[in-house]
Structure 1
Amino acid sequence: MAQVVDAPFVFDIRSLGRRPGNMIESHRTVVTPIRIGTQMVAIEPGTDMDLDLRMEAVSEGVLVTGTACGETFGQCSRCLEPLEGTVTVFLTELFAYPDSETDKTSSDEEVHRVDDDQIDLEQSLIDAIGLELPLAPLCREDCPGLCPDCGVALDGAEPGHSHDKIDPRWAGLANRLGELRDQPTDNG
């Protein structure tokens, strides 16, 4: 059963203590409260995500390693057909203790922080999943996409689907030739 909480990616680490080598293992299935992924494919809000983590106290903070796995939904970037799949990411993140040397010498973008004996994996998961998912997902590698003229899915179109097009640079000449053909000839 998925755990439904206000902050499903927040872990209380009080029981871990600050002694290097102490470890907590956690397996949690949570319901994602936000969309995590790219514009074309993502783990949608309300989807279960499995977290299998190991949190280990180290001298400068808490080292989190493990996996996160969830079902993805989106659409093919060529034919716009719906897609479903699974994404699994491997995490290795350090959360610095307040006032540790790492905390003092690192910017907010470089390392995460332990805050009130809690760690929040949300941003780490957003980053990892965003990097793992394709920017242009495909339903299959050889997806022909959509017809650029009429928008029909080429996979379901008749063989040889095409449109007669005149290069716009020659359109004026084609119109003039059409006018000349339509004129009656005086060949007696």
Structure 2
Amino acid sequence: MTMDKTPALDPKAPLVADTRTLPRSPGSSKDLSIDTSFPEKLGLDMIAVGAGENIQLRITLTSVSEGILVTGTVSAPITGECARCLTEIDDTLDASVSELYAFEDSTTAETTDEDEIMRLQGDLLDLEPLVRDALVFAMPNAPLCRPDCEGLCPECGQPRDTLPDDHSHEVVDPRWADLKKLL
């Protein structure tokens, strides 16, 4: 006999979906729209979904023979700074989601390890790990304000976008610097 270490889900939690109204016959589906937020920041140092920001989850729950297939999108505002020019980034991140939640006594549940696949707890789906993973994995490691960002001038540190086209710096070899004084 194995002990289930998974804590019981709260059916009133915003990211817990109750599937009792979804028929178990394969092909049956139900659309869900959930607007929620996380109390903590999700993401990386350079780009993240801020604490308390509105996260929109638009999904379809579809009954399949081994469980419930969850497909759809998750959207959230992201803020950070450009990895090249350090300007502020305010954007919206849209990520696709697709995850199978296995029925408790299905063949899939019995033949996979605990961490390989999501599982239903009775009639409840815990969507929080799905939303967290979708958002964090969709974030760029080196966010850019735009794809053609030229970054900063290596000499003066100013954003190249704000500099004139003929911007340049005179580079003098320090070995010849004293000779320049004679001119």
Give the TM-score normalised by structure 1. 0.73
Distance 1:24 1:140, change over 3 A: closer
Structure 2 residue 140 is the aligned partner of structure 1 residue 121? no
Instruction: Tell me whether 1:162 sits opposite 2:169 in the alignment.
Output: yes
**Equivalent of residue 148 in structure 1, options 144, 154, 160:** 154
The amino acid that maps onto 1:142 is D
- Mark the CA change 1:144 to 1:22 in structure 2 (over 3 Å): closer, same or farther: closer
Distance in 1 separating the partners of 2:55 and 2:132: 12
1:134-177: CA deviation from partner (whole Å, max 9, x where unpaired): 222222233221233553333334642436365xxxx6xx39x9
d(CA) in 2 for partners of 1:7 and 1:147?
Answer: 49
In 1, Cα distance between the equivalents of 2:168 and 2:44?
Answer: 32
Does residue 46 of the first structure (1) align with residue 52 of the second (2)?
yes
SS at match of 1:103: helix
The aligned residue for residue 36 of structure 1 is 42
Name the CA distance, whole Å, in 1 between partners of 2:40 and 2:21: 28
**Which piece of structure 1 moves more, 135-144 or 96-105?**
135-144
Structure 1 residues 32, 64: closer, same or farther in 2, change over 3 A?
same
Superimposed CA distance per residue, residues 65-104 of structure 1 (whole angstroms, 9 cap, x where no aligned partner): 1222222212111011111112222222100111211111
Q: Which residue identity is paired with 1:124?
A: L
Superposition pairs of residues 54-133 of structure 1, within 5 angstroms: 54-133=60-139
| Higher CA-based Rg | 1
Structure 2 residue ranges without an equivalent (≥5): 1-11
Q: CA deviation at 1:46?
A: 1.3
Residues in 2 aligned to 1:60 and 1:102: alpha-carbon distance in whole angstroms: 6
Q: Distance in 2 between matches of 1:100 and 1:79?
A: 52
Deviation at 1:64, TM superposition (A): 0.8
CA distance in 2, matches of 1:92, 1:17: 20
Question: Residue by residue, what CA displacement relative to the aligned partner does 1:28-71 show, whole Å, maximum 9, x if unpaired?
Answer: 22223343344422322211122221112222111111222222
Aligned-residue CA RMSD (Å)? 2.9
Stretches of structure 1 that go unaligned for 5 or more consecutive residues are 1-5, 183-188
Query: How much identity, in percent, do the aligned residues show?
Result: 36
Retained in 2: the 8 A contact 1:96–1:113? yes
